[in-house]
Amino acid sequence: MNLSITAVILICLFINLCCYLYYRRRFIRLSSEICRYAEQVMGGRHVPGQQNQETITSKVLMELEKLETATAFQLEESKKQKKELQEMISEITHQIKTPLSNLKMYCEMLSEEGASFSRQSNEVMKSQLIKLEFLLDTLLKASRLETDMIRLEPENSRVLETLAAAVNNVMRKAELKKIEISVDCRPSVLLFHDRKWTAEAIENILDNAVKYTPENGSIHISVHPGEMYTEIRIQDTGKGIAPAHINDIFKRFYREKSVSQTEGLGLGLYLARYIIALQKGYISVRSTPGKGSRFSVCLPKRI
């Protein structure tokens, strides 16, 4: 009886040992295959022979390929952001360097013995300080919006009042270039929107229009209520935008090479679209080089 029990125990142990050795061998083989295929996948080489198979190896490879694709995308985005950051720093440095150099020059002139402080010198220094303030204020607004430090507070209010606030802030620049700005909007038109930030967005579009519209040009603003959206249309007689750059003008710090000498950071239209998008709206553009552009700011009647 004891011998039978001992024999059974030994047989069970032998079977367990065989099973252990068998599955250990299979596990080692599977691990080796996965490691080998993983090296190929992470190296950018696909393993077509293992795809679409109902095996553990195939499933692991599919997940690895997904991981490789996601990692490659993140790496590409990281490189892109790094390049954008370098371009941003370069652009900001260039924009700030000019007024600082001018201020430094005038300070050195005033420090010279016998130098007089003329009204013209005062005006130049004042304009350079205003430019610096504008650049820093624009950067601060962009930073605060992107980090959600600013909360939009939409309310049902008159569109005409929002347009008036935007137009008033660019009227001085328009008058200097003899550009006529006209508004076609019924006082009764209401829209659920944030008045302050929507005016900021429209002002940025108008500022751009004034900047790139030649003297004696015109800018026409009209409002078109619809069933779902209210469209604020801004038509100018400016230089227009080439079709290849229509989608680029809303990118952060984008400056077209042909206008690189014009003052600006390339943030105005970026901020305008960002503000409108926060209110579930959108901006579309139609433009003909040499004939002008039409910006359509569309905001939903209810968010």
The DSSP annotation for 238-250 comes to S----GGGTTTTT
Q: Is residue 83 part of a domain?
A: no
**pTM flag (> 0.75):** no
For the stretch 214-248, pLDDT in tens is 999 999 999 999 889 999 999 999 988 888 888 88
Give residue 207's domain range: 157-300
Are the beta carbons of 181 and 167 closer than 8 angstroms?
yes
H or E stretch including 82? helix 56-111
Please count the structural domains in the chain: 2
Do residues 162 and 296 both lie within one domain?
yes
Q: Is residue 113 part of a domain?
A: no
Last residue of a domain, one of 45, 73, 101: 73
Q: Is residue 24 part of a domain?
A: yes
H or E stretch including 279? none
| Two structure tokens written together for 152 | 């939009």
Last residue of a domain, one of 73, 97, 115: 73
Spatial CA neighbour of 209 closest among 182, 247, 248: 182
Q: Is residue 40 part of a domain?
A: yes
What does each of the 303 residues of the chain score in pLDDT, given as a tens digit?
A: 566 777 767 777 777 777 777 777 776 776 676 676 666 656 666 655 555 555 666 666 666 666 667 777 777 877 776 776 666 666 666 667 777 777 777 677 666 655 555 666 667 677 767 767 767 777 677 666 666 667 788 899 999 999 999 999 999 989 999 999 999 999 999 999 999 999 999 999 999 999 889 999 999 999 999 889 999 999 999 988 888 888 888 887 666 665 555 565 677 888 899 899 989 999 999 998 888 999 999 999 875
Do residues 161 and 253 both lie within one domain?
yes
Q: Is residue 131 part of a domain?
A: no
Are the beta carbons of 178 and 213 closer than 8 angstroms?
no
Residues 216 and 181: their CA atoms lie apart, in Å, by: 11
Last residue of a domain, one of 73, 95, 118: 73
Do residues 60 and 162 both lie within one domain?
no
Q: What is the model's pLDDT at position 201?
A: 93
Residues 23 and 30: their CA atoms lie apart, in Å, by: 10
User: Which CATH number covers residue 198?
Assistant: 3.30.565.10
